[in-house]
Structure 1
Amino acid sequence: MKQILFSGHGAFTRRAHYDPGLSRSAYWSMWLGIMSWPLFVLTAVGRRFRLLDDVQSFVLMGATFVTAVLAMVVALIAFRSIWLRGQKGLRRAIEGFLMGLSVALFPLAGALAVLVYPTLNDVSTDLAVPPHFTEAQKLRDPRMNTIRRLAGEDRLLQREAYPGLVGKVWQFELDTVLRAVEAEVAQRDWKLVKRSQSDIGTPTISLEAVSRSLVFAFEDDVVIRLEELDEAGVKVDMRSSSRWGKHDLGANARRIEVFLDDVELRLQGAPRESIIRFVFGRDVPSNGTRLNVPVTPDIPSNVPRPKPDPGQQ
């Protein structure tokens, strides 16, 4: 409420002072910022514990991010009124803006990724003969993306965007590489859907799994193929496919790169700096160079061994 205050020395020397009061925009900015965080946590927890399906999570996420952006916009309006009218509430406006920004960073990062990464939702290290999904389509809702043969245009786009995304060849026994791959799948808490083996021609083992994103636990499908190359070692290829959307925001290529790097480090027996990998997607020692550890074929004894699939014998 606007107030007029009078002061002076005596009845004949009174002077008016205008009190602009508290900015309502600052007040609403603070509360919108506060509301955005419970909505964010509710969405993440609800999706991770399967209390919400994907579509419900998308709707709640949209409401969360709209609330966060509104907090920032209203805070900017408050800054203007505080500057021009001298109103109070600067601290509330700052708090509202920062809380909204902390939540809005997720969609802002996604918008930036759309500009930086190519429009792909299915990525493979082998574009000539990609690893084949046999179970992924059965696990998908009709509203989700359909597993298709990689289009020629998408292959060219991937080659241009990710020229270094290729399969790895390691000089180890097939069983040793398989145990390392399964150990990494288990460590990531991916759900192993199917393990198949073919001894016709080149001995090949394929693992299909469902991966989950870090915050909201959205699921994507991956398939890992191991081929024994006689004396050359074992070649590992990987394919990662998004269940929703035309754009994966670079997640599939990043998932493949980090996974194969982690398998290689496990085979080498090299320690991993998990926090640095979480931020940068790869291991970077303090001197800024890539880890170069001599190859040692030792695999920890507690790594689970694969169980034969009777249906694939």
Structure 2
Amino acid sequence: MAEALRRRVWTARLSWTALALSVGAVAAALIAALGTREGAWHFSDGFLILRWAFYAAVAGGLLAIAAWLMARRAAGSLAAVNLAALIIALLFAGYVASLAIAARSVPPIHDVTTNLESVPRFFRLALREDNFDVVPAQGDPRLMRMAPVERWRMLHARAYGDLRTAEVPWNVEETVRRAEALARDRGWEIASADPRGVVEATDTSTFFGFKDDVVIRVTPNPAGGSFVDMRSVSRVGVSDLGVNADRIRNFLEDLRQG
């Protein structure tokens, strides 16, 4: 009887500790994001908190499994605590792990465009001063011998060869109008919309509040309609986790569909 009671006490402690770690991990991640968004700390500190939150979630999940193995016949409420801890831990850790996988699957760049030969320029929004200061060579001897801008072009071409100038059936002014409306529908902050062929806007991420600047360049197509090029640049960080490329793909696809 005493042994069973002792096991039950330890199981309860493990279960509630597991739940506290899992819930605490999510809370820490939210605090990390909010603090970064509000400027309370540097985004790198926010990512550090997120990393430790991931470790806490993994620990919570493992403790929940251990508690379940220690007392498979625990009362329903205790079993529910273990299940809740495990589900929260799996969902959160899985999400953070997906970010890490995304970071490894894309090049460490944060400036993406549809046109490497004639990159769209920003006129109203200022391009970050350190835009090409850090372009990792990833241990590639060929890249190491290149200037940062050329290294960026090479990495970009390898990863985002599918991003190309879009063709639409409308004239420049109508295309600008549609592009501006689409950007507003996405919640982007419009910096300028020149009917002669340029739209500039800023997209802010939901949680961390990262700001990415976008320029849309529209030029007349001699065969009719217009050509549309885009550029999306993250204001901070080295890698954008593929966000800028996805933004361009999705925007141009929706623009083509009218």
Bin for the TM-score computed over the shorter chain:
0.7 to 0.9
Q: Which amino acid letter does the alignment assign opposite residue 125 of structure 2?
A: A
Equivalent residue in structure 2 for 1:254, among 239, 242, 246: 246
CA deviation map 1:138-185 (0-9, x unaligned) = 7x6x8xx53789812221222222222001122222222111101101
Residue 53 (str. 1) matches residue 42 (str. 2): no
Quick one: structure 1 residues 243 and 194, their matched pair in 2 at CA, closer, same or farther if it must change by over 3 Å? same
Deviation at 1:98, TM superposition (A): 1.7
1:271-286 equivalence runs, <5 A: none
Equivalent residue in structure 2 for 1:176, among 151, 157, 174: 174
What is the aligned partner in structure 2 of residue 71 from structure 1?
57
Deviation at 1:85, TM superposition (A): 7.6
Question: What is the aligned residue count?
Answer: 240
Quick one: structure 1 residues 229 and 150, their matched pair in 2 at CA, closer, same or farther if it must change by over 3 Å? farther
Distance in structure 2 (CA, Å) of the matches to 1:66 and 1:30? 16
Deviation at 1:207, TM superposition (A): 1.6
What is the aligned partner in structure 1 of residue 144 from structure 2?
none
1:142-181 equivalence runs, <5 A: 145-146=130-131, 151-181=149-179
Q: Which has the larger radius of gyration?
A: 1
- Note the residue ranges of structure 1 that are not aligned, 5 or more in a row: 6-16, 198-203, 267-313
Structure with bigger RCO (C-alpha 8 Å, 6+ apart):
2
- Note the residue ranges of structure 2 that are not aligned, 5 or more in a row: 134-146
Q: Contact conserved, 1:213 with 1:219, CA < 8 A, in 2?
A: yes
1:205-284 equivalence runs, <5 A: 205-266=197-258
What is the aligned partner in structure 1 of residue 7 from structure 2?
20
Residue 124 (str. 1) matches residue 113 (str. 2): yes
Deviation at 1:231, TM superposition (A): 3.8
Q: Which amino acid letter does the alignment assign opposite residue 146 of structure 1?
A: N
Q: Which amino acid letter does the alignment assign opposite residue 105 of structure 1?
A: G
CA deviation map 1:181-235 (0-9, x unaligned) = 01101101111113457xxxxxx52221111224443211111101113443211
CA deviation map 1:241-292 (0-9, x unaligned) = 11222111111111001001111112xxxxxxxxxxxxxxxxxxxxxxxxxx
Deviation at 1:113, TM superposition (A): 0.5
Distance in structure 1 (CA, Å) of the matches to 2:192 and 2:213? 12
Structure-2-length-normalised TM-score? 0.78
How much is the aligned-residue C-alpha RMSD, in angstroms? Answer: 3.1
Quick one: structure 1 residues 75 and 101, their matched pair in 2 at CA, closer, same or farther if it must change by over 3 Å? closer
What is the aligned partner in structure 2 of residue 286 from structure 1?
none
* Bigger mean CA deviation after superposition, 119-128 or 148-157: 148-157
Quick one: structure 1 residues 182 and 196, their matched pair in 2 at CA, closer, same or farther if it must change by over 3 Å? closer
Q: Contact conserved, 2:115 with 2:165, CA < 8 A, in 1?
A: yes
Quick one: structure 1 residues 236 and 259, their matched pair in 2 at CA, closer, same or farther if it must change by over 3 Å? same
Matched residues, percent identical? 25
Distance in structure 2 (CA, Å) of the matches to 1:71 and 1:26? 13
Structure-1-length-normalised TM-score? 0.66
Q: Contact conserved, 1:205 with 1:225, CA < 8 A, in 2?
A: yes
Q: Contact conserved, 1:177 with 1:234, CA < 8 A, in 2?
A: yes
What is the aligned partner in structure 2 of residue 32 from structure 1?
21
Q: Contact conserved, 1:196 with 1:207, CA < 8 A, in 2?
A: yes
Distance in structure 2 (CA, Å) of the matches to 1:101 and 1:183? 39
What is the aligned partner in structure 2 of residue 305 from structure 1?
none
